[in-house]
A and B are shown apart, each in its own frame.
Chain A
Amino acid sequence: MLNYRGDRTARLIANIVMTVLSVCALLPFLLLVGASFTEEKAAVLNGFSIIPSQFGLGAYQYILKEFGTIGRAYLITIVVTVVGTALSMTITTLMAYALTKRVPGVKILNFLVIFTMLFNGGLVPTYYVYSNILRVKDTIWALIVPGLLMNAFSIMLVKNYFRTAIPKELLESAKMDGAGQATVLTKIVLPLSTPILATIGINSALAYWNDWTNGLYYLTDARLFSLQTILNKINENVQFLANNSDKLSGIVNTSDLPTTTMRMAVAVIGILPVVFIFPFFQKYFIKGITIGAVKG
């Protein structure tokens, strides 16, 4: 009881500091939202602020007007995220399950999986393989396949879960009953593995939703742009104009480009799904990190 007071002060300090840190984490997002709801002229005059200096919905009207482009990008992002995550989970669980079995060659395969964490060919050969051999350029596959379908870390997570969390007796008795491997996997192992599936699922979905590099490397066809790719392209165009304004003045019509507040509004709608869907999966996300750290 002697230090009860000390504990209370410590708790108070912890709460104060964490509140400050949380506000710091949130502030840039509030600024982004504030900026997106500001009347363009007021934004140019007074700058961005968390509470709009003059409230306006112009930026969102722009999104509605440009719904053909932005809505399409949104749809592509959703499709890529859903299809990509489903494919990725399937390939990963199949591979992880197979790697827990003692079949000839499994040791080498385990090594080949882990080796990808240590060494890679780098961007140039990867780009060459995907664009010249597999020809994914300007196809929807460019957003799904390169880099994101399977990774060693998820395989290790799932493999270790299968090894430790599924009772061996259960697998044995299923085998006695004459169940094949596919049946064992789908009827016994997977139903017991929802937590780890949720973990790799949320990791994969986040990776797909946030990916902008594949669009940058492999897409020139604007009809295939995902939301992140569009956001990046808008930036590139604005930067290009800003850096070459002297040479381009009069040639390019700058009013065709989305204004600053419009850009902020597109970013806001890109964030929304993550902010609203992620909290439901946060538990599994955090679990994935902690087990990953205990045994990577």
Chain B
Amino acid sequence: MYLKRVAKIKKYLPIYFMMVPGILYLLINNYLPMAGIVIAFKKLDWKKGIFKSDWVGLENFTYLFKTDDAFIMTRNTILYNLLFITLGMICAVSVAILLNEIRSKTAKKLYQSLILLPYLMSMVIISYLAYAILSNETGFLNKSILPLFGMEPISWYQEKKYWPFILTIINIWKSVGFSCIIYLASIVGINPEYYEAARLEGAGKWKQIRYITLPLLMPTVITMFILNIGGIFRSDFGLFYLVPRGSGILNSVTQTIDTYVYKGLMQQGNLSMSSAAGVYQSVVGFITILASNALVRKLDKESALF
């Protein structure tokens, strides 16, 4: 018995050995920070460290939710996500359908490479590109486009009303090349016989798209939609932090939970609020992901995350 166990352990040992770096990393990168969530329930004193700081219970949270910031950042995070998800999806599906119509392999690959290009860039680069277009003094819009229509230059970085549009356009411009790939793959997977039959019945291209492609794409669309909704409490920190170039006037339309947490931690030294907002995001985000996954599981087990 004992020998058998030793032999077994010896057999397993190399496997466990292979896991060591991965487990270590999970520990330091994921699970230690999770334990660090207690910060939000303490009055953090850097000198005492996380675990020795004094408990304050839910005080940080009550303070946080008394501020206007809590409402604004939650509203912005959710509304921008809804906008990005729905419009992004419509664009991605349309692009996938268009790409699928293109017969020339070279042309298809060229289009795909070009629309994928923005996705490969860091948000820092994107913020430079945005600046080249939007800058007050040297921007492409103010210097080249608006004069064509006889319009006065606009101080883009000072005007709130434009930013929901600007951020949405940038988000879709950056992500459409990436997100259309999934839909294209599922369109390619549609049985060509359906189209043959439709053609014999005299159905034109539009009808084929309307009655074959779109219905058959629906399961993928719904799955992706629900999975994306699961992430509705997370936002692209770079987009909201870098692209508006720290313009305080724009705060009410560019502040999301992620930018609030960062600014609280690094710029304002407002740790208690910052950590409370972080935990608020993690917990509510966890619930939305679980809920969305449960829904996907019900509809299509194969597509569920877990």
Contacts and interface: CB of A to CB of B under 8 A. Distances in A.
Q: Do A and B come from one complex?
A: yes
B102 A15 contact: yes
- Between B33, B111, B114, B262, the greatest number of chain A beta carbons within 10 A of the residue's beta carbon is seen for B33
Given A3-B204, A109-B23, A11 B140 contact: no
Nearest to B139: A47
Given A121-B33, A295-B302, A3 B202 contact: yes
Contact of A18 (B102, B144, B265, B303): B102
B33 A125 contact: yes
Interface string A114-134: 101111111111111100111
Interface string A149-178: 110000100000000000000000000000
A13 to B, nearest CB: 8
A228 interface: yes
Chain B contact residues: over half helix, strand or loop, or mixed?
A: helix
A188 interface: no
A48 B138 CA distance: 6
Given A26-B117, A97-B18, A21 B185 contact: no
Interface residues of B, number: 101
Interface in A246-296: 260, 263-264, 267, 270-271, 274-275, 278-279, 282, 286, 289-290, 293-296
B7 interface: no
B19 interface: yes
B33 A98 contact: no
Chain A contact residues: over half helix, strand or loop, or mixed?
A: helix
A25 B132 contact: no
A91 B305 contact: no
A103 B15 contact: yes
B29 A14 contact: no
A155 to B, nearest CB: 8
Nearest to B261: A123
Interface in B1-34: 12, 14-16, 18-19, 21-23, 25-26, 28-34
B15 A101 contact: yes
A282 B116 CA distance: 9
Interface of A: 2-3, 6-7, 9-11, 13-15, 17-19, 21-22, 24-26, 28-29, 31-32, 35, 43-44, 46-49, 90-92, 94-95, 97-99, 101, 103-104, 109, 112-114, 116-129, 132-134, 145-147, 149-150, 155, 180-182, 185, 206, 209-213, 216-217, 228, 231-232, 235-236, 239, 243, 260, 263-264, 267, 270-271, 274-275, 278-279, 282, 286, 289-290, 293-296
A235 B23 contact: no
A113 B22 CA distance: 9
Contact of A120 (B28, B34, B121, B123): B34
Contacts of B182: 289-290, 293
B190 to A, nearest CB: 14
Interface string B48-77: 011000000000000000000000000000
B152 interface: no
B152 to A, nearest CB: 14
A259 to B, nearest CB: 10
A162 to B, nearest CB: 12
Contacts of B265: 123-124, 127
Nearest to A212: B124
Given A48-B138, A264-B132, A271-B125, A126 B18 contact: no
A119 B144 contact: no
A206 B21 CA distance: 22
Interface of B: 12, 14-16, 18-19, 21-23, 25-26, 28-37, 39-40, 46, 49-50, 95, 98-99, 101-103, 107, 110-118, 120-125, 127-130, 132-133, 135, 137-140, 142-144, 173, 177-178, 181-182, 185, 199, 202-205, 220, 224, 237-238, 242, 245-246, 248, 258, 261-262, 265-266, 271, 274-275, 278-279, 281-282, 285-286, 289-290, 302-303, 305-306
The 9 residue pairs across chains A and B that have the minimum distance between CB atoms: A47-B143, A125-B36, A121-B33, A95-B22, A122-B278, A210-B122, A14-B101, A22-B114, A10-B205
Contacts of A126: 29, 33, 36
A267 to B, nearest CB: 4
A211 B124 CA distance: 9
17 contacts: A6-B204, A6-B205, A47-B137, A48-B144, A91-B25, A94-B18, A95-B18, A118-B286, A121-B34, A125-B37, A129-B32, A145-B29, A180-B14, A182-B18, A231-B128, A260-B138, A293-B185
A14 B99 contact: yes
Given A119-B282, A124-B36, A124-B274, A94 B138 contact: no
A101 B115 CA distance: 40
Contact of A104 (B12, B18, B140, B274): B12
Given A119-B285, A125-B50, 19 more contacts: A3-B204, A15-B102, A18-B107, A25-B114, A25-B177, A49-B143, A103-B15, A118-B289, A121-B32, A121-B278, A124-B39, A129-B28, A134-B28, A150-B22, A182-B14, A206-B120, A275-B117, A279-B113, A290-B181
A129 B220 CA distance: 39
A31 B134 CA distance: 12
